[in-house]
Structure 1
Amino acid sequence: MDSHLFLAYDYPVLGAFWTVMWIFLWVMWLLLLFRIIVDVFRDDRMNGWLKAAWLIFVLVVPFLGALTYVIVRGRGMGERELRHTREQKAAVDAYIRDAVGAGSSTDELARLSELKAKGDITEAEFQKAKEKILH
């Protein structure tokens, strides 16, 4: 057997733990950098030069840049994320209301026919309202 062949039992458990920990920290670091870069471009109160300066600072001196950014603008990151989430939710809700509103003509017609059956509206009023709904 070759003396350079490493088997699974030759790799210590603590070595596996350290490998997993470093991979985890590396992934977390990439997520933090991505979050900072997204936050820089999401902030509409910063001008282009300030965005470029933060971006260069975070990319050229990554650890110091990311730490400084989180210290200086960390609270605003959460507020901007919350505002963005609320805007997205409002857009989805508006889309759902529009989509449901387009199909609600049958509900309106059913309500009108109930009003006509009760005698609350006349046949002429029913026909006029029905034409409004259908057109």
Structure 2
Amino acid sequence: MSFWNSIWDIFWWTIWIFAFITYIWAVIAIISDLFRDHTLAGGWKAVWIIFLIFVPFLTVLIYLIARGRGMAERAQKDAIAAQQATDEYIRQTAGTSASASDEIAKAKALLDAGTITQQEYDLLKAKALAHTA
């Protein structure tokens, strides 16, 4: 066996491995999409799964052609929902931050009530103004 034959063998093995991994990824994406689709009845989901088992390559091709657009829409909808949940969690965890004027107003109310001294008020005011800068 010559050097060039072994190079071509490596090349073709690489192509076949890539195609196989791509196929496995497509099957997993299709199965997850079937379970994500709430508009498709359970019987039809079972039919798609059975066809994926017995006629795999043709079923993947037909599924991607027939339901590919809906598959993309469901994935986008889930991504948006996940982003909104993350944003809500961040907002909830971070809490609402008061503006500098709100903090100064609260400190002024404490000063007027006699709860804090003028020096403490000045310190709180300086901190509030430093956070906005």
- After TM superposition, the score normalised by the length of structure 2 is 0.73
The 4+ residue runs of structure 1 with deviation greater than 6 A are: none
Q: CA deviation at 1:36?
A: 0.5
Q: CA deviation at 1:35?
A: 0.5
Give, in whole Å, the separation in 2 of the partners of 1:52 and 1:65. 13
2:26 to 15, 18, 32: 32
Structure 1: tracts of 5 or more residues without a match = 1-5, 125-135
Change (3 A) 1:30 1:116: closer
Give, in whole Å, the separation in 2 of the partners of 1:66 and 1:81. 17
Give the letter aligned to residue 40 of structure 2.
M
Q: CA deviation at 1:50?
A: 1.1
Give the letter aligned to residue 50 of structure 2.
I
Aligned residues: 113
1:48 to 31, 42, 46: 42
1:45 match: secondary structure: coil
Partner of 2:104: 114
Partner of 2:72: 78
Structure 2: tracts of 5 or more residues without a match = 115-133
Change (3 A) 1:116 1:74: closer
Per-residue CA shift, 1:21-55, capped at 9, x if unaligned? 11111101100110011111100111111111111
Pick which of 91-100 and 110-119 moved more.
110-119
- After TM superposition, the score normalised by the length of structure 1 is 0.72
Give the letter aligned to residue 79 of structure 1.
E
Does the CA-based 8 Å contact 1:39-1:77 persist in structure 2? yes
Per-residue CA shift, 1:46-79, capped at 9, x if unaligned? 1111111111111221011111111110111111
